[in-house]
Structure 1
Amino acid sequence: MRSITIEGLNRPVSQLIMGSDFFRLNNEDEVHSILEEYTAIGGNTIDTAFIYCGGESEQAIGKWLEATGSRERMNIFTKGAHHDQNGPRVTSEAIRSDLMTSLERLRTDYVDLYALHRDDPQVPVGPIIEALNEQLEAGTIRAFGASNWTHERIQEAADYAKQHQLTGFSFSSPNLSLAKANEPFWHGCVSADSKTLQWHEANQFPLLSWSAQARGFFTGRYTPEIRDNADLVRVFYSDDNWQRLRRAEQLAHEKGVSTIQIALAYVLNQPFPACALIGPRNGQEMRSCHEGAQLKLTSQEIAWLDLETEVR
């Protein structure tokens, strides 16, 4: 499997990152089976978060790491400082508290990739960068980044870090998919737009995309007439996205692959380091992701799929 490098890590990061928002303590056999399938195709990075499944996701991963002795060959990517019922909590106290709990659940003394799960634009970037650098110096994290931050805020954090001789963000994790979001899937979420992609290309800044396959939009299960999934209708149903789907279907037919594999390849063939968070639940879905990750798309094909040009 192809991989990217992220500043601060001594291991590459596989382009396919295993999502774990269905990992629980009562489906241990499924968790172990899917992680074995994932590592068999060359995957080495697992995504989780402090809030996933009420903490069970991190606990399930910790049990698997301990049972299989896999800690030193896997990158663990977790997130914290998500808002709660009282509102935003992007503070040094929340960062430290969530991280310490995550480490305990994961049965490890450090995580490879740590991200702030949401932003709070009312909080200056300075104290946030300083809090993350404290954890970096303590050895509890190897690299840190931002999930659902705009590229402008990430640049602001980079400028602060440079001015104060600190380490800045090493990656960003917004939504990026061939289907463009009409509105945020969840409150506070960020999707990469054209300006974001230009910034990532100019800075060669790694992007780890969630919902890279648009939550099943490209599986063939949906048409403009099928409207039983209210969230999918709200976020992805648009004339432009149906045209993108038709173009993906056409290109898939020409290459002898599936449409959803073209959608995955769109994310992984950007002109900057990019990974996709995936959530296969069985071997067939895992193999589909693996095959899609091996596809090469040209810049002309990427532009055509994204409706930027009529020729390819």
Structure 2
Amino acid sequence: MKKVTIGNSDLKVARINFGGNVFGWTLNEKQSFEILDAFIDAGFDFIDTADTYSWWVNGVGGQSETVIGNWMKARGNRDKIVIATKVGSETKEHPNDISKKHILKSIDESLKRLQTDYIDLYYTHFDDEVTPVEETLSAYDEIIKAGKVRHIGASNLSPERLTASFKASEENNLPNYVALQPHYNLVERQNYETKYANLVEQYGLSVMPYFSLAGGFLTGKYRSENDLSKSVRGEGAKQYLNEKGLGVIKALDTVSDKHKSKPATVALAWLLAKPHIAAPIVSATSQSQLQTLFDAPKLNLDAADLELLETASANL
């Protein structure tokens, strides 16, 4: 299995990052274990979660980390897994918060749920836009020195706050972010490509896009409003049911037919062909969906494929 190095870290990962938001939500613990076993058995090793997943179920969160922790304990495989989790996102109980106090409390709670001594990659999930970046980074410095976290990443930070963080890191000898987790896929290109791609290049960040399949839209499952009821996540795809979105689906159909593949596999392969994309974050709830993910790193799109997809998704 080909692996890539995350930023300037010592973390090496296979090129699909499994999104753990489904654990404790659309998958119960037994089903989650089965999916995780299959993912690891196929040679993959990178799992993404967050301290608040799946807060939308009970308003608290932590279910996803708990499931992953129980699975790692049952399998005795912590040393073979690269775990990414996050801090700072809003729940019903508290707003977005990346203060030092909140980070120092949250890391211990995440470690307990995950039943591990350390997190490989710890993300700033959502910025509160109030806490000085120096305070956030000093909290990360403390937990890295304590051995609780190996490296840090950024998710929903503005370009300005991301730039300020790197400046503060350099001026105060504080940890640097090594990864960026943005919203990026074939139907959501503009924000990342116009505001973040240059920063990724400048700071040598590895990129793990979330919503890599646009809430399932890029699987080709949703082609009309009648299809939205096929999944609990179907409503999220409604916004793409327009001329441009359906144009992207048509291009995916063309390329997937050519390669005897699936639209979702092609959409992920397009991401993997982009500069600095290390491992797109994507979930699956069945063995057939998993195979679609497994096939993406093996699919080499040619220049004609990429041009067709680029043209169809331009200005999206």
Per the TM superposition, whether the score is higher than 0.5 is: yes
Out of 164, 170, 194, which is 1:162 matched to?
A: 170
CA distance in 1, matches of 2:18, 2:102: 25
1:4 alignment partner in structure 2:
4
CA distance in 2, matches of 1:83, 1:267: 28
Q: How does 1:64-103 map to 2 (within 5 A)?
A: 64-85=71-92, 86-103=94-111
CA distance in 2, matches of 1:302, 1:201: 21
Q: CA deviation at 1:102?
A: 0.5
SS of 2:20's equivalent in the other structure is: coil
CA distance in 2, matches of 1:18, 1:309: 25
* Contact preservation (8 Å) 2:7, 2:206: no
CA distance in 1, matches of 2:203, 2:253: 32
Q: How does 1:1-312 map to 2 (within 5 A)?
A: 1-7=1-7, 9-24=9-24, 27-53=28-54, 54-85=61-92, 86-180=94-188, 192-224=192-224, 226=226, 228=228, 229-234=234-239, 236-298=240-302, 301-307=305-311
Q: CA deviation at 1:231?
A: 2.7
CA distance in 2, matches of 1:300, 1:141: 43
| TM-score normalised by the chain length of structure 1 | 0.87
Q: CA deviation at 1:72?
A: 0.7
SS of 1:115's equivalent in the other structure is: strand
* Contact preservation (8 Å) 1:267, 1:274: no
Q: CA deviation at 1:88?
A: 2.6
CA distance in 1, matches of 2:273, 2:206: 12
CA distance in 1, matches of 2:15, 2:256: 21
Q: CA deviation at 1:293?
A: 2.2
CA distance in 2, matches of 1:24, 1:231: 20
* Contact preservation (8 Å) 1:6, 1:171: yes
CA spacing shift, 1:223–1:101, aligned 2, 3 Å? same
1:185 alignment partner in structure 2:
none
Aligned length: 301
Aligned residue type for 1:199: L
* Contact preservation (8 Å) 2:179, 2:208: yes
Deviates more, 1:22-31 or 1:120-129: 22-31
Deviates more, 1:240-249 or 1:31-40: 240-249
CA spacing shift, 1:138–1:285, aligned 2, 3 Å? same
Deviations 1:164-222 (A, max 9, x none): 2222111011111111279xxxxxxxx62433234324544211111101111122222
The structure richer in helix per residue is 2
Give the superposed CA RMSD: 2.5
CA distance in 2, matches of 1:8, 1:114: 15
SS of 2:153's equivalent in the other structure is: strand
* Contact preservation (8 Å) 1:83, 1:90: no
| TM-score normalised by the chain length of structure 2 | 0.86
CA distance in 2, matches of 1:221, 1:308: 18
* Contact preservation (8 Å) 2:209, 2:277: no
* Contact preservation (8 Å) 1:227, 1:233: no
Q: CA deviation at 1:298?
A: 4.7
CA spacing shift, 1:246–1:59, aligned 2, 3 Å? same
Aligned residue type for 1:24: G
* Contact preservation (8 Å) 1:303, 1:309: no
CA spacing shift, 1:208–1:101, aligned 2, 3 Å? same
Deviates more, 1:78-87 or 1:6-15: 6-15
Deviates more, 1:1-10 or 1:208-217: 1-10
CA distance in 2, matches of 1:80, 1:158: 19
Q: CA deviation at 1:299?
A: 6.2
Deviations 1:92-116 (A, max 9, x none): 1111111110001111111101011
Name structure 1 gaps, 5 residues minimum. 183-190
CA spacing shift, 1:264–1:172, aligned 2, 3 Å? same
Q: CA deviation at 1:44?
A: 0.7
